[in-house]
Amino acid sequence: MPKDRAPTRIQKKNRAAIIEAALNVFSAHGFRGATVDQIAAEAGLSKPNLLYYFPSKEAIHTALLSGLLDVWLAPLHDLDETGDPLQEILSYVHRKLQMSRELPRESRLFANELVQGAPRIHQALSNDLRVLVDEKSEILTQWMDQGKIARLHPHHLIFSIWALTQHYADFDVQVRAILGDEDPFEGAEPFIDTLYRKLLTP
Amino acid sequence: MPKDRAPTRIQKKNRAAIIEAALNVFSAHGFRGATVDQIAAEAGLSKPNLLYYFPSKEAIHTALLSGLLDVWLAPLHDLDETGDPLQEILSYVHRKLQMSRELPRESRLFANELVQGAPRIHQALSNDLRVLVDEKSEILTQWMDQGKIARLHPHHLIFSIWALTQHYADFDVQVRAILGDEDPFEGAEPFIDTLYRKLLTP
DNA sequence: TCTTGATTTGACCATCTGGTCAAACTCACG
DNA sequence: CGTGAGTTTGACCAGATGGTCAAATCAAGA
């Protein structure tokens, strides 16, 4: 494996190519369904060469997930206590839907992991994620106390946003099978916007 | 393989045990992640014995999925044109949530398949499911035309019900990691009920 | 250019996995 | 009971898969 000095030009390029390839393969087939050969081929490397950069399949998966977790949680992280409640929430919803549209592989990567019991990221869920959600739920509760938005269970409000937005990335095949040629997000955007405006009006 | 006469007592028992075991294993690990040995062990059979009842892993999966599809779609199928619009929809939502609570393995089985592009049930999606959804969307549209419920994109309304209810089964680990000891459905039920009452009010 | 560390690879290995098969065993029924 | 169909299994196979290794090749600074 490469020494842990400053990464060389080649190391940067190949590590990036591997992570990109791994995202493709893991998101499409899940951890178990992905093969190292597949990832290597997609990254344009031989299998031993790939394993020169990452010690194992598991290590690639871990690196990929932990690298993405921040990106994935950024929109919720940005929910601003001092902003306008309805606008803040609608903006969060909007960003999440945008991510389903633009980063569907990332969404499916997490979906794959979660639906199988999250054996490799259970840690992060019970710690980082839980803390973040509790923190933001606190803000939501304050807004409700102040009568700025309707009173609802804050955790379930957040779950609903995840469910409604990620559905379009995770179950893309199903959505498209039903909508046919229609662009899913064309209709999803106003639908979800209306939903939260109605729901959150006190 | 057993002849296709009337199934014997033993055939009935073992086929049922295999399907039950397959549901456990496939829903927890996905098609690729499940092994025939695992299913056989769970069913209390040896691998060759299992393969005496089903010709292949694929065949078990297919039998399982097609056997469940009807159960899975029954609630939507039962949406009744002649009933009270709001009550009909709320009742559908309620049944779907109930299914997430009582049949989480079934939900995850489909989720696993869908999130990986539904390679084995694409057929059913584009045919049966699409027809059913189009048919029920027609009813929803009529209700909207009659001013009985708010005007919304009917397909996305249905998607939202799937997303909100199945989320609790499919991403159970995540939900529980955040809620801690709290029963997810305790809070989900009133939340989702409120959501659809507000959303559907014209 | 030369040297040294970084990079790449062909060959290989152990294990897992889906599936086969012939032989053995069990059961229901005449 | 005896017998033939139904059921079960140990042994086995071929291919896939994660991972290793020594040898070969390459790249960049002295």
The SS3 assignment for A84 reads coil
Nearest Cα residue in chain A from B134 = A178
Residue B2: its pLDDT value, please? 59
- For chain A, strand residue ranges (E) read none
Distance from CA of B5 to the nearest CA of A (A): 37
- Tell me the three-class secondary structure of chain B, residue by residue: CCCCCCCCHHHHHHHHHHHHHHHHHHHHHHHHHCCHHHHHHHHCCCHHHHHHHCCCHHHHHHHHHHHHHHHHHHHHHCCCCCCCHHHHHHHHHHHHHHHHHHCHHHHHHHHHHHHCCCCCCHHHHHHHHHHHHHHHHHHHHHHHHCCCCCCCCHHHHHHHHHHHHHHHHHCHHHHHHHHCCCCHHHHHHHHHHHHHHHHHCC
Q: Please list, in sequence order, all residues whose beta carbon lies within 8 angstroms of the beta carbon of residue A137, skipping any fewer than 6 positions away.
A: A154, A155, A158
Q: Which residue is nearest to nucleotide C28 (CA to C1')?
A: B8
Protein-covered nucleotides of chain C (CB closer than 7 Å) are 5-11, 16-22, 28
Nearest Cα residue in chain B from A109 = B115
User: pLDDT below 50 — which residues of chain B?
Assistant: none
Residues recorded for chain A: 202
Q: CA at B36, C1' at C17: how many angstroms apart?
A: 8
Q: Please list, in sequence order, all residues whose beta carbon lies within 8 angstroms of the beta carbon of residue A163, skipping any fewer than 6 positions away.
A: B163, B164, B166, B167
Question: What residue type is A133 in one-letter code?
Answer: V
Which of the 8 DSSP states describes residue A125?
Answer: I
CB contact B202 to A (< 8 Å): no
Which of the 8 DSSP states describes residue A117?
Answer: T
Measure Cα distances from A86 to A60, A80, A142, A152, B164 in Å.
39, 11, 13, 14, 21
Residue B3: its pLDDT value, please? 55
Tell me how far apart the alpha carbons of residues B25 and B147 are, in angstroms, rounded to a whole number.
Answer: 47
Helix (H) or strand (E) holding A17: helix A9-33
Nearest Cα residue in chain A from B31 = A33
Q: Which nucleotide is nearest to A8 (CA to C1')?
A: C6
Question: What residue type is A163 in one-letter code?
Answer: A
Residue A7: its pLDDT value, please? 78
- Best probe of the B interface among A100, A171, A185, A193, by most B CBs < 10 A, is A171
Residue B5: its pLDDT value, please? 63
Which of the 8 DSSP states describes residue A5?
Answer: S
Is residue A180 left, alpha or beta, with left meaning phi > 0 and alpha meaning psi from -120 to 50? Answer: left
Tell me how far apart the alpha carbons of residues A14 and A50 are, in angstroms, rounded to a whole number.
Answer: 8
User: pLDDT below 50 — which residues of chain A?
Assistant: none
Asked whether strand D has any atom less than 7 Å from the CB of A34, the reply is yes
Tell me how far apart the alpha carbons of residues B1 and A96 are, in angstroms, rounded to a whole number.
Answer: 50
Taking alpha carbons only, the member of A54, A75, A68 closest to residue A110 is A68
Report A:10-69 residues touching B (Cβ under 8 A): 28-33
Flag if B30 and A30 touch (Cβ within 8 Å).
yes
Distance from CA of B68 to the nearest CA of A (A): 17
Six token digits for residue B9: 């007592």
- Best probe of the A interface among B126, B156, B193, by most A CBs < 10 A, is B156
Asked whether strand D has any atom less than 7 Å from the CB of B46, the reply is yes
Six token digits for residue B191: 């939340």
Contact B37, B93 (CB under 8 A): no
Question: What residue type is B142 in one-letter code?
Answer: Q
Q: Please list, in sequence order, all residues whose beta carbon lies within 8 angstroms of the beta carbon of residue A21, skipping any fewer than 6 positions away.
A: A39, A40, A42, A43
Residue A2: its pLDDT value, please? 58
Tell me the helix, strand and coil percentages in chain A, rounded to 5.
80, 0, 20
Nearest Cα residue in chain A from B176 = A126
Tell me how far apart the alpha carbons of residues A117 and B18 are, in angstroms, rounded to a whole number.
Answer: 22
